[in-house]
Amino acid sequence: MSGSEGPSASTKIEEQAAHWFAMRDRGDWAAADQAAFEAWLAQSTAHRVAFLRLDAAWSRADRLSALRAHSSAGTTSPPRDLLDAPLQRPFVSEAPVEQETPAEIDHHPPASVAAARRRRAGTIGLTAALTAIAGAVLSLYMRVPEEDIFATPVGATEYVHLQDGSSVTLNTDSKIRVRLAKNERNVYLERGEAMFEVAKDAARPFIVSAGSAAVRAVGTQFAVRQSDSELRVVVTEGRVKFSPGLVPGFSGQRPSPPAGAAALSSSATPIELSAGDIAREASGSLSVSTHADAEAQRLLSWRQGFIAFDNTPLSEAVAEFNRYNKRKIIITDPAISGIRVGGNFQTNNIDGFVWLLARGFPVTAIDTGAQISLQHRD
């Protein structure tokens, strides 16, 4: 629904949706009615959303049969194709029934006239009931923000544009939950890594939670990564407040962490990070690298499809490659774990990485198809 439509416009749309819903429940729905209905839906996304919400609420309320008892017997059920189909799917009308003109009704026998009047009275009553449900549903949606979930499989990245104008780039095997409320914008990083480009909105801080940490921003760019070993925040533009616990001073609830996640703590004092700063939290300790622009760009090279190593222990390089590939590299000889490697590699070029490793270091690679084992070469 566009920002230009006030409460009165929203109410009017809900009433129109209820009217169309009731009309479709009648037995005299014709091709002309379907065409007019489709034209109304095409006028605005708000029209389509209002109708879908009403249809879903009607189904969940489980009161359809009770309300129909007040309308005439023999009316047909409203088609369910709209709820079950994606929004892009054309609406398909039922078998067209010829509409009755006033002149034709006057010549009907009295029983037919009474039936027609009952249908109209039933439609009016059903419309009123549907309008009431539509108002309740709209109120519920205004009170409880919807939560969106985005996730990527191993080896994939995804760009997501949020409704507030912000954007998120998800790295491999990552998952976030997003809830945009009136006073706050909340994201919970359940796993993996994500880069956030936050649209400025001083009235609604943008808060990213991951494990026991939280990052608060207004308009900035930063990345958050959550792994088994550490929580990492990299800021590339603007400033953020980072804390391993609940950030003091903001109201509302963040999306609840999944079962097993560390409990939030209010004891930690947030620290301010600026562009080029990198914060790492591991084993209960926090470290911050300032003005580390080169390292920040290296850590975020995955956005261009690369992994960058700079004097990196082989064990860490292998773990990084394994994040992007289903075929894993296994170090079977601890003696080679500390070998230092460097260079830029495509995230899916696991064979190239192993080939260069075997030729530049005393390492033997054994490829079994399902995995690649690395061991010391005598």
Give residue-wise pLDDT tens across range 320-372.
Answer: 999 999 999 999 999 999 999 999 999 999 999 999 999 999 999 999 988 99
Closest CA to 61 of 163, 137, 165, 114: 137
Q: What are phi and psi of 53, to 5 degrees?
A: -60, -45
CATH class of domain segment(s) 147-296? mainly beta
Q: Where in the chain is the domain with CATH 3.55.50.30?
A: 305-376
Pick out the chain residues at pLDDT < 50: 1-7, 62-109, 113, 140-143, 246-267
Closest CA to 358 of 324, 306, 305, 314: 314
* Domain 305-376: CATH architecture, name and number where available: 3-Layer(bab) Sandwich (3.55)
What is the per-residue DSSP string for 121-135?
HHHHHHHHHHHHHHH
Q: What is the pLDDT of residue 83?
A: 33
Closest CA to 212 of 283, 274, 145: 283
Tell me the C-alpha distance between 162 and 196, whole Å.
10
Q: Where in the chain is the domain with CATH 2.60.120.1440?
A: 147-296
Q: What is the pLDDT of residue 245?
A: 53
Q: What is the pLDDT of residue 27?
A: 66
Tell me the C-alpha distance between 176 and 206, whole Å.
14
Tell me the C-alpha distance between 216 and 167, whole Å.
15
Q: What is the pLDDT of residue 81?
A: 39
Helix (H, G, I), strand (E, B) or coil at 207: strand
Q: What is the pLDDT of residue 39?
A: 87
Q: What is the pLDDT of residue 53?
A: 73
Q: What is the pLDDT of residue 213?
A: 86
Longest CA span, the chain = 104
Mention every residue, 6+ apart, whose C-beta is less than 8 A from residue 313. Answer: 337, 338, 339, 340, 341
Q: Which amino acid is at 300?
A: L
Site of tokens 């489709």: 38
